[in-house]
Amino acid sequence: MEKFKKLCSFIREAYSAPEGFIPLHEPRFIGNEKTYVNDAIDSTFVSSVGEYVNRFEEIMCEITGAKYAVATVNGTSALQVALLLAGVESGDEVITQGLSFIATANAISYCGAQAVFLDVDKTTMGLSPAALKSFLEDYAQLKDGVCYNTKTGKKLAAIVPMHTFGHPVDIDSIITIAKEYNIPVVEDAAESLGSYYKKQHTGTFGVLGAFSFNGNKTVTCGGGGAIVTNDMALAEKAKHMTTTAKVPHPYEYTHDMVGFNFRMPNLNAAMACAQLEKLEEFVDNKRAWAKSLSGFCLENDIDFITEPQGTESNYWLNALCLVNREQRNGVLEFMNKQGVMCRPIWTLLFKMPMYAHCYRDEQINSQCLEDRIVNIPSSVII
């Protein structure tokens, strides 16, 4: 455990915190947050209508390169609506990875669909193209341009890769396979704002992408989410669906479909705009911290997770890959007792009681990572 004692000291020195608690990832409010929030309050437009909501969507387009962005109350609602827009219906199946945060599977369930859990690659911790191809070769069949699972008879309605800890998946390979089977790709980019795959921003490769602005993300507005797409019709429908599907009228209340009260409030958007102004600075800071950690870990024989080749990660959460579950548990207990917050990666989704019935492949890499990954403090250093 000696090298992890040194790691504790290294982290404390970096954060100028010789004692006390160091959180895993806390927000930094060092820009125009208070100014913009006060301005939104003064405007009296504090709910889902306001100039900061519009500005937030414009900035998201500027950052990601997507043609359209739609603000939502959180990342889970963004993913849920994106799946519905992609054509997911009740009774369908949606392919995703077994190693992800619970929101990925929940969003699928909210659509009335059932998850299919496939393995990840160790290098990306995201959906494995090889696992995807193997599953589709074994179970998928196209009928009149629609892909079905030959074993269950259900439509394979979408593929949802998740960019784990901000590290981009091998999205080119996933898109190529998806096109062969005519299955839309919806990217769970909740953790990867500021991350790039071959110089293109995550979330913009699929038909739609979903981002999160939860309190622990690289930039935050307390809650908040966003859908991005290059399809005008989908963007317009997304905005309509998330605004209770109200037909525009000066005073009449007419709704033409089942909609959702999912639009981001102007108060949150005001904070989000200020945070987005700092995104480049934050990502540069986090990448520098990751580089420093990587050097320390190399010198001390600790396996540090680095960005996959051909990508530029925001390093949302830094991660160590330890020898086995026993060492993982020992490090977690030691570091947290020292006041340096660390946590394991998520429990695999198919181990949750409500998803135990879902199909899964062998999950060899996912299980290996679940046994070994430990996240360590990753906040912007100020």
Considering the domain architecture, whether residues 146 and 259 belong to the same structural domain is answered as yes
Q: Which residues contact 313 (CB under 8 A, 6 or more apart)?
A: 165, 166, 167, 168, 192, 195, 287, 290, 307
Considering the domain architecture, whether residues 40 and 162 belong to the same structural domain is answered as yes
Question: What pLDDT was estimated at residue 1?
Answer: 86
In a domain, 380, yes or no: no
Considering the domain architecture, whether residues 211 and 315 belong to the same structural domain is answered as no
Q: Which of 244, 277, 310 is the last residue of a domain?
A: 277
Considering the domain architecture, whether residues 239 and 310 belong to the same structural domain is answered as no
In a domain, 337, yes or no: yes
**Long-range CB pairs of 57-65, under 8 A, 24+ apart, other chains included:** 57/226, 59/273, 59/276, 59/277, 60/211, 60/226, 60/228, 60/276, 61/228, 63/193, 63/194, 63/201, 63/276, 63/279, 64/201, 64/203, 64/204, 64/209, 64/228, 65/200, 65/201, 65/204
Cβ(356)–Cβ(2) below 8 Å: no
Considering the domain architecture, whether residues 309 and 225 belong to the same structural domain is answered as no
**DSSP per position, 64-121:** H--SEEEEESBHHHHHHHHHHHTT--TT-EEEEESSS-HHHHHHHHHTT-EEEEE-B-
Kindly report the length of the chain: 382
> Where residue 310 sits, what CATH number does that domain have?
3.90.1150.10
99: left (phi over 0), alpha (psi -120 to 50) or beta: beta
In a domain, 174, yes or no: yes
Considering the domain architecture, whether residues 165 and 312 belong to the same structural domain is answered as no
pLDDT per residue, tens digit, the chain (382 aa), is 899 999 999 999 999 999 999 999 999 999 999 999 999 999 999 988 899 999 999 999 999 999 999 999 999 999 999 999 999 999 999 999 999 999 999 999 999 999 999 999 999 999 999 999 999 999 999 999 999 999 999 999 999 999 999 999 999 999 999 999 999 999 999 999 999 999 999 999 999 999 999 999 999 999 999 999 999 999 999 999 999 999 999 999 999 999 999 999 999 999 999 999 999 999 999 999 999 999 999 999 999 999 999 999 999 999 999 999 999 999 999 999 999 999 999 999 999 999 999 999 999 999 999 999 999 999 999 9
Output the six-digit token pair for 40. Answer: 């939104």
Question: What pLDDT was estimated at residue 331?
Answer: 98
Considering the domain architecture, whether residues 47 and 137 belong to the same structural domain is answered as yes
Cβ(260)–Cβ(244) below 8 Å: yes
Say how many domains are in the chain: 2
Considering the domain architecture, whether residues 17 and 128 belong to the same structural domain is answered as no
Q: Which of 277, 292, 320 is the last residue of a domain?
A: 277
In a domain, 367, yes or no: yes
Considering the domain architecture, whether residues 13 and 120 belong to the same structural domain is answered as no
Question: What pLDDT was estimated at residue 48?
Answer: 85
**Buried-exposed string 43-55: b where 16+ CB fall within 10 A, e elsewhere:** eebbebebebbeb
Considering the domain architecture, whether residues 73 and 158 belong to the same structural domain is answered as yes
In a domain, 381, yes or no: no
Q: Which of 242, 258, 277 is the last residue of a domain?
A: 277
Considering the domain architecture, whether residues 261 and 286 belong to the same structural domain is answered as no
Residue 60 belongs to domain spanning: 33-277
Considering the domain architecture, whether residues 101 and 61 belong to the same structural domain is answered as yes
In a domain, 124, yes or no: yes
In a domain, 382, yes or no: no
In a domain, 179, yes or no: yes
Q: Which residues contact 186 (CB under 8 A, 6 or more apart)?
A: 79, 82, 83, 86, 158, 159, 160, 206, 207, 208, 209, 210
Question: What pLDDT was estimated at residue 337?
Answer: 97
> Where residue 215 sits, what CATH number does that domain have?
3.40.640.10
